[in-house]
């Protein structure tokens, strides 16, 4: 698992390529916001299965394994548990490095329980 902190106004897809360089997953589960040809091509080049539903305005609709896509709820539940930590939800820490350390610490606690 790889975590990083971004500015609030940044789109999540801007960090996807950089974070994917650090890990080697079998599949990449994401929502429609990650449906970009550049990212999909990069995933298929690396042999990673993209499990991203296509946007409705795509001219050519891609097939998606929706049975595997249902597993994305684990990610959503993880973030829900992470937001239960008051210091994470309200971002008490001012420095990015300190806040990232708090998020990593809370993540370890969640994964150990």
pLDDT score recorded for residue 75: 86
Reported as a pLDDT band with limits 50, 70 and 90, residue 47 is very high
**How much is the pTM?**
0.75
pLDDT score recorded for residue 1: 73
Separation CA 9–CA 12 (nearest Å): 9
* Three-state secondary structure of 32-79: HHHCCHHHHHHHHHCCCEEECCCCCCCCCCCCCCHHHHHHHHHHHHHH
Would you state the torsion angle of the CA atoms of residues 47, 52, 58, 61, taken in this order, to the nearest 10 degrees? 70
* 6-33 residue pLDDT tens: 777 778 788 888 888 888 889 999 888 8
* 51-89 residue pLDDT tens: 999 988 888 888 888 899 999 899 899 999 999 999 888
| Contact by Cβ (8 Å): 82, 109 | no
């Amino acid at each position: 698992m790889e975590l990083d902190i971004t500015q609030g106004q940044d789109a999540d897809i801007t960090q996807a390529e950089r974070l994917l360089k650090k890990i080697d997953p079998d599949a990449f589960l994401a929502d429609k916001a990650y449906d970009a040809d550049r990212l999909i091509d990069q995933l298929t080049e690396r042999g990673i299965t993209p499990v991203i539903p296509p946007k409705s305005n795509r001219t050519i609709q891609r097939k998606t394994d929706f049975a595997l896509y249902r597993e994305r709820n684990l990610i959503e539940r993880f973030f829900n548990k992470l937001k239960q930590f008051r210091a994470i939800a309200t971002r008490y820490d001012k420095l990015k490095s300190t806040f990232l350390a708090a998020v990593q610490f809370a993540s370890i606690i969640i994964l150990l329980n």
